[in-house]
Structure 1
Amino acid sequence: AKKLHDSMLKQVPWAPQSFFDTTPAGRILNRFSGDVYTVDETLMPTLASLLLQVFSVVGTIAVIASATPLFLTLLLPLSLVYAYTQRYYVSTSRELQRLNSASRSPIFAQFSEALSGAVTIRAYA
């Protein structure tokens, strides 16, 4: 996560001015925190879960195929249905993630602006 954060931090200041004109500060902060959180907290458990599920599916298919060889003829059509469902889910999930990120950006922007103006806020509080 530190390497990811450092590489992002090196690249963002060199982005063209048009990037900063069109991208709110909250979205940039959201991207930094979201990516670092994903690497730190969710990547390893997700990979462990993936391996567990792969071995579980392979084991289940092996047991079913050994008990009922006819199942192997249905495996290809079932795999095609699964692949179609997965493609639909991935595109939908990506769109939901984008909407979630876009909805959080104003919160990060307001928080960032409040931190940068903390002295002024304290002066009038």
Structure 2
Amino acid sequence: MGAAPPDKLRLDKWLWQARFFKTRTLAAKQVSGGHVRVNGERTLKPAYGVGAGDVLTFVQGRQARVVRIVELGARRGPAGEAQGLYEDLAPPEPRQPPPERAGERPTKKARRALDALRTVDEGDF
């Protein structure tokens, strides 16, 4: 007979299983640094128990993430499986249009001329 799934899981382990952090150590450092909130409360313990329904708030890269835990999961599986562990509550950020070019792309002849100037300038120093 299989064991029943746990109703609580370590916060650092869940963040790692849900693929928010590449390693469990990185997840633990974020939690220990006070950068993760569980249901609006800052927690400093990576072993803090989280379960289904808890809302996590943290920064990942340059993006603020707000997620609700849907299920705990049994392993760190593929990305599709990991995305099923949570519901993203943060509104999508508006996409920035790509920057406009200053002008046309230089021709091969112009690039060679620029390379020749850079070579001469670097040699003078």
TM-score by length of 2: 0.18
Q: As a proportion of its length, which structure holds more helix? A: 1
Q: As a proportion of its length, which structure holds more strand? A: 2
TM-score by length of 1: 0.18
Q: Which has the higher contact order (CA 8 A, sep 6+)?
A: 1
